Each structure stands twice: as C-alpha cells, then as structure tokens.
Structure 1
C-alpha cells in the first residue's frame, strides 16, 4: 500500500466520483481507477459501490478512510517536524474564512503575517460558515474564523470579536425611523439574506419561526454588497453585522440594531482539537490573537 494510493482513495471518497476526484488531483481518470482497483486487490475487499451515480463507501472502505485520515495526519506532522527547527514556522497553512469575515478583518492581517513569516504559504478557503465548520470537523483546515454556534462548541476556540447585528433597510421604509427593531417587527417584510451555506441564514430563519412566522425570502445570495444594494433600491430588507454596513455607506439605507434574534455576531478562531497544530498554525494564531478588533455590543 502506497501513500499515493491512499491519497487517490481519499479523493474518490470525498468527491464520491472518479471523474471529479481525477479533476481535483489533476490526474487521468484511468490512472485513478487503476490505483483504487489495485488497492482493493491488495486488501482483498471492495472499497466502493455505485449508488445513484455516486461512489459510496462500503463498510471496509469506511474503515480504511478513517485509518487513512489518521495516517495522513501523522505523515503531515512528521513532515512539519522535519521541516521546522525549534519554533520556526514553515510549510502550508490552510485557513478557513467566510467571505464576510475576510472582508471585515483579515484583508490586512494575512498580508502582515505573510511578510513576517515568508516561509509559510497561506491557502485561504472561502466558504460559508456552515461549510467551514464541516471542513474543521473533517480535518481539512488548520484554523478558521467562524461564528459561535452549537457546532463550534466541539472545537477549540478563542474569541475574536463580537459585533452587533441589525436590519439594513431603505430610508423610505417606516421602520427605518426606529432606534431598534425586533424580529416580530419584521413580519410582512421582504427579506434578502445570505444563502444556506451561512450560519446567519439559519439564525434569521429560526428567529422568524420562533416569532411565529416564516420570512418572505425574495433573494438568497453569498454577496453582502449585493444584499445591501437590494436594500438601497427598496426591493427588500437585509440583516447584516454593523461592520458590513460601515464598509458600504449609502445615503439610501439605514442600519437599525436588532433587539432580539441574531442580535450578536460572535466570531471565533476555531480549530479541530484532535488535529496536530503546526508551528505555522501556532504562529498564525498568535498573530491574529494579538490583533483582535474591539467588541461592539451594548
């Protein structure tokens, strides 16, 4: 059994497709198929079966995947230890980052870190916080910025910042005159909010349902500036953290804080407690921790 075979096997297991895994690895699909078939012959078991045009793991395949993940983590740790001397930071650092957080906070922090640690190559993975959380669980990220949710409780975390969440709405909307708004006040409004990959989406939907109604969602997007523009054109209201409003000043809209529901944007630095933390990751954690923005909560 070779590391290359395990790498190919893990790629197919993740993508549930030989063709998608081959594209991800930049290898020919027959090469990938042969490698997995040879692995099955060597072990004397079937690792995949086809269901709904997807490659699903057999029981034996699932056990191999779990063992392969442990082996790859040990391999990574060994390489890091060989490459690094003392507290020297080197290697690749995979950082998970929801787009909102990158826009607000890490645009300057990451370049500063890169200048300070030129031997660390930073790979930024931008996804919604729900996707980021799952990638932490699966050990695909070294560290991430994400929102504090029930899922995050299983990780190691450090507080990063806590900011107010509010409603952005056109100034012609009568609610724009209020000093604060509750989720109940928004009944009957048209909502333009983040898509289902974002924790804020589910926080908003859940808060509306607890208030006794289903939100009238007219637009889902992953682009915060688009959501603000929709509100500026009086097509809908949107709910976003205060730092986003501060970065998109517009005379056409007003930001009004929420008095309940997702009123706080609780951002955490998070990592998988079972995953080996490299010197590069420790250096990044220290760098960001010392530059955390101040909280903005009443």
Structure 2
C-alpha cells in the first residue's frame, strides 16, 4: 500500500467515477484502475462497487476511505510543516466563503492582508454554508467563512459580524406601512426561501415553527437576485440579512424589521480543530481577529 494508491482511491470515491477522477488527477483511467485493483488485491477486499453506472463505496470501502483521508492529511501536514520552516511568510491559503459574504466583508480584508503578506496566495472558492462546513471538515479547504449554527465540537469559531434578518415585501403589501412585525403575524403568507443547501433556509423554517406555524413555501432559489425579483412581483415574501437588501436594484422591494423573535445572522470564520494550519492560514486568522468589522 502506498500514498498514491490511497490518493487515487479517495478521488474515485469522491467523484464516484474513474473518468472524472482521471480528469482531476491528470492520470489515465487504466492507470488509476490498475492501482486501485492492486490495493484491493493487497487488502483482499472489494473497495468499490462497480456494478452500477455510478461507482459506490462498499462497506469496507467506506472504512478504508475514512482512514485514507486521515493518512493523506497526516502526510500533507508533514509537508506543510517543512514548507513553513523553509519558506516563512510564504504559502497558499485554501479558503471557502459564501457568495454574499464576499460582498459584505472581504474586499477590504483581503486587500489589507495582501498588503502585509504579499507572498501569501489565497485560493478562494464559493460554496453554500452547508457545503463549506463539509469542505472544511474533509480537509479540502483550510478556512471557511460561513454562518452559525456550526458544530463547536468539530470547529474553532471566530465571530466576524452579526446582523438582523428582515422581512422583504413588495410595495403594495400590507406590511409596507409597518416598521416592524412579529414573525407569528406572517403565518398566512407565502414564503420565498433559499434552497435546502443553505443554512438560511433552516434558520427561517425553524424560527417560523418556534413562532407557531409551518411556513408555506411558494418558491425556492439559490440566487438572491431571483428571490428579490419574486418578491417584487408579488409571488411572496422573504426573510434575508439586512445587508442583502441593498443588492436589489428594485424600488418595489421594501424591508421590515422582525421585532419578535429577534433572529441574528452570525457570520464566522471556521477551521477544523486539531488540524495543522500552515503559517499562511494562521497569519490570516490573526489578521482577521485584529481587523474584523
């Protein structure tokens, strides 16, 4: 068993396809198949169920997959430690953030950080909050900028900002004349929500249930702008962070505060507990702590 076998096996398991793994690893499909078959022969087990079009892990394959992730991460930690000693104040940060958060927070923070550490590169990708926590947990990215709630036993959490959620309605809605509203007053309304991939979907549904009703969902989207247009055309109302209201270039969208219950939108920086962090990642954490809004 060697590290290359494990890396190829992990990538095939992630992609559920030899072809996709081949494209990502830049290695021919037969080479990947041969190495994984050698690994199976060595362990005397079948790791991948190849009987269907989409490859799945067997029971023992899932166990080997989890252990392989730990082994690969341990080896990467060794290289990172050595690289840190040889190349101080250099490196790459692999970071994920939600699209909306990039608009709110990061242009100023990133500019300041790059000015202080010009030799540190930031490899940034965008995911939903749920995807981000999964990527950080699996070690695919070093840091994630996401929203609460987050598993505090699994992640270190650095608060960045907190803001209220507000109701947005069209300009002919009965709520327009109100400065604030109790969430329970919205029980007969149709809601426009983000999809289940987003934490805000769960936050809004949970708040509604705690206020005594199950929200009637008229439409779900993964795009903020589409949600704003749907509200403007009277498809329903929505609940979003206040800072996002300014993104809607539509005079027919109006925001109202929620007086009860108060629902905070808490943005945090997370990284996995007990995971080695490079100099670059630690430097970014310190910079954010000293310069957060």
Q: Does 1:47 align with 2:51?
A: no
The separation in 2 between residues aligned to 1:262 and 1:68, in whole angstroms, is: 44
TM-score of the pair, normalised by structure 2: 0.90
Do the aligned partners of residues 131 and 105 (structure 1) sit closer, same or farther apart at CA in structure 2, a change above 3 Å counting? same
CA contact (8 A) 2:155 2:272 kept: yes
The residue aligned with 1:32 is 32
Matches within 5 A, 1:222-237: 222-237=222-237
CA contact (8 A) 1:163 1:242 kept: yes
Do the aligned partners of residues 81 and 144 (structure 1) sit closer, same or farther apart at CA in structure 2, a change above 3 Å counting? same
CA contact (8 A) 1:73 1:276 kept: no
Q: Does 1:6 align with 2:6?
A: yes
CA contact (8 A) 1:169 1:238 kept: yes
**Structure 2 portions without partners, runs of 5+:** none
CA contact (8 A) 2:165 2:263 kept: yes
Tell me the CA shift for residue 158 of structure 1.
1.2
CA contact (8 A) 2:145 2:270 kept: yes
The separation in 2 between residues aligned to 1:86 and 1:8, in whole angstroms, is: 29
The residue aligned with 1:179 is 179
Tell me the CA shift for residue 286 of structure 1.
1.5
Matches within 5 A, 1:21-100: 21-50=21-50, 53-85=53-85, 88-100=88-100
Secondary structure, counterpart of 2:267 in structure 1:
strand
The separation in 2 between residues aligned to 1:272 and 1:187, in whole angstroms, is: 39
TM-score of the pair, normalised by structure 1: 0.88
**Structure 1 portions without partners, runs of 5+:** 294-298
Secondary structure, counterpart of 2:75 in structure 1:
helix
* Displaced runs of 4 or more, over 6 A: none
The residue aligned with 1:144 is 144
Do the aligned partners of residues 291 and 226 (structure 1) sit closer, same or farther apart at CA in structure 2, a change above 3 Å counting? farther
The separation in 1 between residues aligned to 2:104 and 2:229, in whole angstroms, is: 18
CA contact (8 A) 1:152 1:270 kept: no
Secondary structure, counterpart of 1:176 in structure 2:
coil
